[in-house]
Structure 1
Amino acid sequence: MKKITIKYTAILTLFLAGLFACKDLTQLNVNPNGVQPETVNPNLVLPTVLSETAKLYTNLGFQDVAGVVQHTQKDAWFGGHNDYDWGGDQSWTAYYDLLRNNDLVYQRSVALNMEFQQGVALVMKSMLFGLITDLWGDAPYTNALKGELGGLDDIAPKYDSQDVIYAGILADLDKASTLLSKPKSGYTSIVESADLYYAGDPTKWLKLANSLKLRYLMRISTKQPDVAKAGIEKIVASPAQYPIIDDASADATMAFPGNNAGDSWPSNAVYDISGSNYRRIKMCSTLLKAMQPTNDPRLAIWAKKVEIPLKVDATLPAGTDKITSGVRYISPDKVGTTPIDQDPNYVGLPPSISQLPSGYNFNPTPGQTSVNPHVSYLNEIYKEAKGALLKARLVSAAEVNFILAEAAQKGWAAGDAKTRYENGVKASLNAWGLASSYNAFIAQKGVAYDGTQAQILTQKWISSWTSATEAWFDYRRTGLPALQAGPTAKRKVLPLRFYYMRDELNLNKTNSGTAIEKLEITANSQADGKNSAWSKQWLVQGTGKPW
């Protein structure tokens, strides 16, 4: 038996020796079931970058940021959404993960001379780094995405200041604009199915690049007005060279396939069988009160009417509380001094109303089950996994037109402010399938252009439904709309930024510490210290905004 074992050991040794003679260690280290980064086709990685970026953007604008700007409120598991109780662990890891994948798309596209993919990758780089600095402030930028090099400055990169990051974003968008300026026939290796936004249409990507540039130019307009003015006027002056997203057909959107929990609308009740993600979200009274007086047609698309309206009737006998013909009638003694909303159609949950928001408006069954027949839920479409209107909406014609309306209202050469404003309203209605409602809507008092920045920013805030991050950044820059924090919010004013996460504070202590020291502490951030959601970034320091 021992001889047999020795024999087979010798045979195995000879086999392995022959194998190693034919293949070096580099060859053996190749995963036969995967694709090496050095050889990957950019079209294989691009769908991940696009889909995951769109999902991140939707989760921001439909979840906690929608609570900040008072589009929605939650009546269970509500602390982060309603009250800004975010703690200190808001991670940017997912953003940098996507940036690494996107950098792979770019580097491989350069190596393969694939200009379309290079341009797309620069647009996505700009969007992701823009979100990072918008949300947190100073951040790793110049030295980011180099961890595999192994140096200390690569593993723990320095933070660039916001002005440097915005300047880099604008430069990358200029470069992308040049790369994307040819007709589709001028490119090779475009795979339409890999482009989840525009199906390989370089003209629409060119519009997106220039529209993003407008977004960031307006972002820095208070701190660097000369740069913003010159940049916006340059784009407007040459529409053939710098086309923009000026109608809803070119909106940067991504539909949700709805095949599983990971690629479905986030509040769907198809894969969340309990339906709790949908039930917890209610319309916020701030948004409803802005839309109801003008009979805004978008309201019926976004919200449900209350299931059971309330009616306080002084003619009823004391102690009356009954439902008749679908209406709940209550005698005044039962209500007492409790605030109550008797609107027969739409009732919103006020921002940060209480520590028991599920009890609002005389709900007879408050609690974590989030069933309240007296407050408006979102429309039933938001229970679906997919649908014609269930899209990630990254940049829209409405946003672009409102940016130009604001620029024109400042006196910049950006077109006629009234026309730009009206085009913004029209584009928003078109995006929600309401083109036929435009003429009647725009003629109403409160919607008809009145020449004020407040009106432009209010309509822009409304149009950012499900994409509320831009509304938050506009509020931070201008203080408009004049949103007020509710009585149980963590602070008496709205927050301005995300906290740097604990892992970053521990693993990149020196550089994160330097960035924190550059934040401006305010009366509202003293309880947290400088790394606070109420400390001011460079972008708003010295502006007196938003509070």
Structure 2
Amino acid sequence: MNSQSLKIAGLAVAAILSFGSCTKNFEEINKNPYGSTDTDLQGDYAIVAAQLQQAQRSIYLYQPVPSFQLQQNLLGDVFSGYMMSATPFAGNSNNLNYNLLDGWTSSAFTIAYANVMNPLYKSIQFSKDKKLPDAVGMSEILRVAAMHRISDIYGPVIYTKYNTPNAEGGVDFDSQQEAYNAFFADLKDAVAQLTPFAGKTASTLFAKADLVYGGNYTKWLRFANTLRLRLALRIVRIDPAKAKQEGEAALADPAGLLLDASDNFLVDIGSTTHPLNTINGSWDDIRMGAPMESIMGGYADPRLPKYFRTATDAAVAGKYKGIRNGINIDAKERYVGYSKLAEFASKIQLMTAAEAWFLKSEAALRGWANAGSAQANYEQGIRVSFDQYKLADADTYINNSTAKPLAYADPKASTAGSNDVTTGSPYLSTITIKWDAAASFERNLERVITQKWIANYPEGQEAWSEFRRTGYPKLFPVVINNSGGKISTTDFVRRAIFPSNEYQTNNAAVQRAIGMLSEPKDVGGTHLWWDPKQ
């Protein structure tokens, strides 16, 4: 590796993998993360609160930072177009130019089972036994919030069969369709568990466990409904009837969806530094992605200075300058002067109210009941995003009918060729901001998803998933493709490969999981179930 941070990350992953398969030996992994035994903590249910806190802080891991860098930053954050690294890791042949490295792509899988599924499994079992329905509800919501991300990375996932060994001593995967059906069932049950508590003062356990809303049941219900709508739209291309059923159920629930910035799902990590601040600052390992420069720059988006800093490199000083994905980087010094990320507060953003409005806008475009007006929801999504950053005059932005994304040029390298992004390129969007009622469904869908992409920053995992589902916003293909033909340059990366550790310890189940994919190939170019090839 060419970066000290990745060397550290490799050690961190090796330490996690030394436990053996992360889907076996369940009760031993993270058995005692807070220094007390289960028996010690059962008296006031502190063990449940501790397990729920651990899960919330690990969906998007805040520490150790090297593990987060692999779990999220050098995966979804980059594949979404939000960010790109100036560092030529592994001789500039790595995830960023489609040579998917097992040491990188295994991290999200390992962390999810060790740090999220295991404590939530224990929390649910204990809470059901002690008849603590609010803790059951929170646990189920968190389990879906974490594991749909893992399914959206790999496809088949160990979910309903977790902690249920098969005849071979391993654990079987659910197909992605089976997993999504289980996600919807869990969210439905969670809402049923929490609805009787709406408007009431939280139990001591629930308030202690809640790192997001401080024990507000109604906001957890809104989060669950919005998550259900997100997942309903995720499967709309492969199972439109099921998508409509689940989406309309979410829209009809009396608690509603996330409404404004006070409803944003932000996990409080206390005084700990946000991991992106470390990777962006002292490590200098991440910078603005070229699509952000093109889209937000073209729109003269007032959120730009809230998201990024201007470049310091002499060639582009004072401008917002992003790095194109998959380019030839000979040395870190070449691009490290491009735009840094702005500093983040000590809260991890997993979902915003702006996203809820954009989801509702797409649901309205599709004619789903109780979705309201597609235009009104779209415009409210922009307003709520502006409010999140304390920006005024959203209406001027909303009514801009001429601004379009800008062509991208890199003064330090030639990116011309079959996948260039100059004016007229199929990879350069021409979508404007102002709603156009006369436009086609697809044109307005691009409008909705592009604005949702801007508002969801910096949560790259969700942005990558939505790009794969819709093709929006239009992103720039990699210039260098080191996949050896496993990933198409123009089709982009569709998934991550299963960890080698699962092959070693759970091989028969992994082979069956590969057979559940759209193509029986464990490669980055294989489409997921909800992402059928056009």
- Supply the distance in 1 between the matched residues of 2:151 and 2:477 (Cα, whole angstroms): 24
- Supply the distance in 2 between the matched residues of 1:61 and 1:470 (Cα, whole angstroms): 11
State the Cα distance separating 1:415 from its structure 2 match: 1.1
Partner of 2:425: none
Partner of 2:275: 266
State the Cα distance separating 1:486 from its structure 2 match: 2.0
State the Cα distance separating 1:152 from its structure 2 match: 4.4
One-letter amino acid of the counterpart of residue 438, structure 1: A
State the Cα distance separating 1:207 from its structure 2 match: 0.7
Partner of 2:352: 396
CA contact (8 A) 1:58 1:392 kept: no
Partner of 2:322: 348
**1:298 paired to 2:296:** no
Match among 497, 500, 504 for residue 498 of structure 2? 500
- Supply the distance in 2 between the matched residues of 1:145 and 1:264 (Cα, whole angstroms): 34
**1:70 paired to 2:62:** no
- Supply the distance in 2 between the matched residues of 1:520 and 1:233 (Cα, whole angstroms): 28
For residues 8-47 of structure 1, the aligned pairs below 5 Å read 34-36=36-38, 40=42, 41=45, 42-47=48-53
- Supply the distance in 1 between the matched residues of 2:233 and 2:221 (Cα, whole angstroms): 19
One-letter amino acid of the counterpart of residue 390, structure 2: G
State the Cα distance separating 1:178 from its structure 2 match: 1.0
SS at match of 1:280: coil
Match among 115, 118, 130 for residue 112 of structure 1? 130
- Supply the distance in 2 between the matched residues of 1:128 and 1:229 (Cα, whole angstroms): 23
**1:377 paired to 2:386:** no
CA contact (8 A) 2:57 2:269 kept: no
CA contact (8 A) 2:351 2:456 kept: no
CA contact (8 A) 2:287 2:336 kept: no
- Supply the distance in 2 between the matched residues of 1:307 and 1:540 (Cα, whole angstroms): 39
Match among 443, 446, 450 for residue 436 of structure 2? 450
Match among 365, 368, 389 for residue 409 of structure 1? 365
Partner of 1:25: none
Match among 474, 477, 489 for residue 469 of structure 2? 477
**1:204 paired to 2:219:** yes
**1:418 paired to 2:396:** no
CA contact (8 A) 2:86 2:286 kept: yes
CA contact (8 A) 2:291 2:476 kept: no
- Supply the distance in 2 between the matched residues of 1:371 and 1:187 (Cα, whole angstroms): 48
Cα deviation, 1:172-212, whole Å, max 9, x if unaligned, reads 10110011112353764435243101111111111111111
One-letter amino acid of the counterpart of residue 104, structure 1: K
- Supply the distance in 2 between the matched residues of 1:62 and 1:432 (Cα, whole angstroms): 23
SS at match of 2:349: strand
State the Cα distance separating 1:249 from its structure 2 match: 1.1
Aligned-residue RMSD, C-alpha: 2.6
One-letter amino acid of the counterpart of residue 298, structure 1: R
Partner of 2:242: 227
SS at match of 2:99: coil
Partner of 1:123: 141
Which one is further off, 531-540 or 164-173? 531-540
One-letter amino acid of the counterpart of residue 167, structure 1: N
- Supply the distance in 2 between the matched residues of 1:516 and 1:87 (Cα, whole angstroms): 18
Cα deviation, 1:114-139, whole Å, max 9, x if unaligned, reads 12111100101111221221111112
Partner of 2:4: none
The structure with more radius of gyration: 1
Match among 89, 95, 112 for residue 95 of structure 1? 112
SS at match of 1:512: helix
Partner of 2:521: 530
Partner of 1:430: 387
TM-score, length-normalised on structure 1? 0.75
The 1:532/1:186 distance shift into structure 2, 3 A limit, reads same
Cα deviation, 1:473-519, whole Å, max 9, x if unaligned, reads 11111111222322113341321111101111121111111111232
The 1:38/1:130 distance shift into structure 2, 3 A limit, reads farther
The 1:85/1:37 distance shift into structure 2, 3 A limit, reads farther
**1:174 paired to 2:185:** no
Unaligned 5+ segments in structure 2 are 1-31, 402-431, 438-443
Cα deviation, 1:110-163, whole Å, max 9, x if unaligned, reads 1222121111001011112212211111122222134xxxx5448411111111
SS at match of 2:523: coil
- Supply the distance in 2 between the matched residues of 1:75 and 1:403 (Cα, whole angstroms): 33
State the Cα distance separating 1:45 from its structure 2 match: 2.3
SS at match of 1:356: coil
State the Cα distance separating 1:426 from its structure 2 match: 1.5
Partner of 1:510: 508
CA contact (8 A) 1:65 1:468 kept: yes
Partner of 1:525: none
State the Cα distance separating 1:530 from its structure 2 match: 0.9
**1:257 paired to 2:270:** yes
State the Cα distance separating 1:401 from its structure 2 match: 1.2
**1:48 paired to 2:57:** no
- Supply the distance in 2 between the matched residues of 1:184 and 1:35 (Cα, whole angstroms): 34
One-letter amino acid of the counterpart of residue 285, structure 1: A
CA contact (8 A) 1:177 1:209 kept: yes
- Supply the distance in 2 between the matched residues of 1:35 and 1:533 (Cα, whole angstroms): 41
Which one is further off, 73-82 or 87-96? 73-82
For residues 278-357 of structure 1, the aligned pairs below 5 Å read 279-307=284-312, 310=315, 345-356=319-330
- Supply the distance in 1 between the matched residues of 2:274 and 2:168 (Cα, whole angstroms): 37
Cα deviation, 1:373-411, whole Å, max 9, x if unaligned, reads xx22223x25xxxx3xx5311121111111111121123
One-letter amino acid of the counterpart of residue 51, structure 1: R
- Supply the distance in 2 between the matched residues of 1:184 and 1:114 (Cα, whole angstroms): 17
The 1:204/1:153 distance shift into structure 2, 3 A limit, reads farther
Partner of 2:424: none
- Supply the distance in 2 between the matched residues of 1:497 and 1:44 (Cα, whole angstroms): 32
Cα deviation, 1:401-427, whole Å, max 9, x if unaligned, reads 111111211233321000111111112
The 1:52/1:290 distance shift into structure 2, 3 A limit, reads same
- Supply the distance in 1 between the matched residues of 2:177 and 2:360 (Cα, whole angstroms): 22
Which one is further off, 179-188 or 504-513? 179-188
Which one is further off, 279-288 or 158-167? 279-288
TM-score, length-normalised on structure 2? 0.77
State the Cα distance separating 1:534 from its structure 2 match: 0.8
**1:163 paired to 2:177:** yes
Partner of 1:540: 531
State the Cα distance separating 1:437 from its structure 2 match: 3.4
Which one is further off, 249-258 or 499-508? 249-258
Partner of 2:479: 487
Identity of aligned residues (%): 24
Cα deviation, 1:284-328, whole Å, max 9, x if unaligned, reads 221111011221011011111223554xxxxxxxxxxxxxxxxxx
One-letter amino acid of the counterpart of residue 50, structure 1: Q
SS at match of 1:180: helix
The 1:188/1:75 distance shift into structure 2, 3 A limit, reads closer
**Number of residue equivalences:** 441
Partner of 1:16: none
State the Cα distance separating 1:276 from its structure 2 match: 4.1
CA contact (8 A) 1:65 1:81 kept: no
